[in-house]
Structure 1
């Protein structure tokens, strides 16, 4: 039986997150990524900040006893947002939806916001299945695409 669960992020998860971050297809879909996904020094510095910031709620996604990705909530643009990253080998299996749904059960802060590039239909569907609604649009520079892209702003009331 396929099982999704969340647990606190531990340092041993980081090498898996780093490998997932280097996936160019995943970077393209996420759009708003680091300038150089293969830069291990920048990755470590970024995650050190995340791990040391108690205001960021972060969980590792476990699927069938393997690290499948992570989900987090943080403040951005003056609002509380959620974000997730699921390794590509787990796409299309309901992992993101189950993980985000479990995360939202634990996070009682509302409203919550999320952002997704307009052509990332799968991520938009995950967010909608979890109760988010498209409330606006924005544009931003995508490192992964090396151009400005349009995104939806979604809200969970």
Structure 2
């Protein structure tokens, strides 16, 4: 069980671990809205470097008991601040995502903050509602991981 969760800025040395987390087949299927090809390392590195260079984006790695166990970020899209996170499947169910969301929301103080989750991703919906996000609707979007349009739940923290 992960006892200590902290956030820190993403470093180049984190790329390998983050890439591996974000290509785990079960995690990819659950997240649904992923890269078109999770195994394309060059595309992953380019995407991460673009995000790290964007001044409107806050990127952090999630450190659990001294090791990298995921990533979390806020970004601006169409004028709205959104959050996203990815946690290594080996630590699912240990409260890591919830603690990371809480830590990021202390750092990113802009409100409202938006989030979108595949509607069948009960774990992420629980994490976000426990953090105070409220469901404000649903939308349909193309989920590359499932190669289909699926329903996503839209949430807001005011």
Q: Which residue number corresponds to residue 83 of structure 1? A: 84
Q: CA deviation at 1:22?
A: 1.1
Alpha-carbon separation, structure 1, partners of 2:16 and 2:137: 35
Q: CA deviation at 1:26?
A: 0.4
Per-residue CA deviations over 1:41-88 (Å, capped at 9, x if unaligned) read: 100110110111121011110001010111100012331100000010
The number of residue pairs the alignment matches comes to: 157
Q: How does 1:30-45 map to 2 (within 5 A)?
A: 30-45=31-46
Per-residue CA deviations over 1:70-113 (Å, capped at 9, x if unaligned) read: 11000123311000000101100000000101110111100000
Per-residue CA deviations over 1:121-156 (Å, capped at 9, x if unaligned) read: 000000001100000110000110010000110000
Q: Which residue number corresponds to residue 142 of structure 2? A: 141
What TM-score results when the alignment is normalised by the length of structure 2?
A: 0.97
Runs of 5+ unmatched residues, structure 1: none
SS across alignment from 1:119: coil
Q: How does 1:51-70 map to 2 (within 5 A)?
A: 51-70=52-71
